[in-house]
């Protein structure tokens, strides 16, 4: 009985690998990106690229583990949710009041250590922000 269950689970695992996540990127105007439109300095740019852009832009870098279902589905869900909350690739398309709101929200979530998400920085150690980086990034967002 245990052998049949293990074989069934192995077959199921192989089958779900055929259900790939969608990694296509829609066409967008790169000149409307947050870093471009705000002319962020190099340090802020580095922090944004390492801690924010995988989930909050169209510049996602999919690591090897994101190729394996069901982990890939979980990763894609986080990316979709992140882009829905704020997409820094399309920052310039936001109305000014919404830009200010999203910038303030980004500052608050950075200060409160809600971003980047713990599972993300645990897999991407360079995305774990120091207190100084958090302050720099949150202050920068508040200045927008």
pLDDT tens per residue across span 78-105: 999 999 999 999 999 999 999 999 999 9
pTM over 0.75: yes
CA distance 42 to 24: 28
How many Å apart are CA 62 and CA 74, to the nearest integer? 12
Distances (CA, A) of 119 to 85, 111, 128, 137: 18, 18, 10, 20
Residue 1, pLDDT score: 84
Q: How far apart (Å, rounded) are the C-alpha atoms in residues 102 and 91?
A: 9
Q: What pLDDT is stored for residue 136 in this prediction?
A: 98
Which residue in 63, 59, 119 sits closest to 89, CA to CA?
59
Q: Where residue 75 falls among pLDDT bands split at 50, 70, 90?
A: very high
From the CB of residue 57, how many other CB atoms can be counted at a distance below 10 Å? 24
74-77 contacts, C-beta under 8 A, 24 or more apart: 75/21, 76/21, 76/22
Cα–Cα distance, 124 to 55 (Å, whole number):
12
pLDDT of residue 42: 98
Contacts of 28 (CB under 8 A, 6+ apart): 58, 89, 90
**10 exposure class (CB count in 10 Å sphere: 0-12, 13-18, 19+):** exposed
The 10s digit of each residue's pLDDT in 17-70 is: 999 999 999 999 999 999 999 999 999 999 999 999 999 999 999 999 999 999
């Amino acid at each position: 009985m245990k052998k049949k269950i293990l074989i069934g689970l192995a077959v199921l695992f192989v089958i779900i690998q055929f259900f790939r996540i969608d990694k296509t990127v829609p066409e967008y105007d790169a000149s409307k990106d947050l870093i471009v439109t705000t002319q962020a300095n190099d340090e802020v740019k580095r922090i944004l690229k390492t801690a924010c852009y995988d989930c909050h832009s169209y510049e996602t870098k999919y690591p090897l583990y994101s190729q394996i279902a069901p982990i890939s589905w979980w990763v894609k869900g986080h990316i979709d949710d992140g882009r829905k909350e704020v997409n820094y690739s399309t920052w310039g398309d936001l109305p000014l009041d919404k830009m200010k709101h999203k910038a303030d929200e980004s500052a608050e979530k950075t200060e409160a250590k809600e971003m980047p998400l713990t599972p993300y920085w645990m897999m991407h150690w360079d995305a774990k922000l120091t207190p100084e980086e958090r302050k720099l990034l949150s202050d920068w967002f508040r200045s927008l």
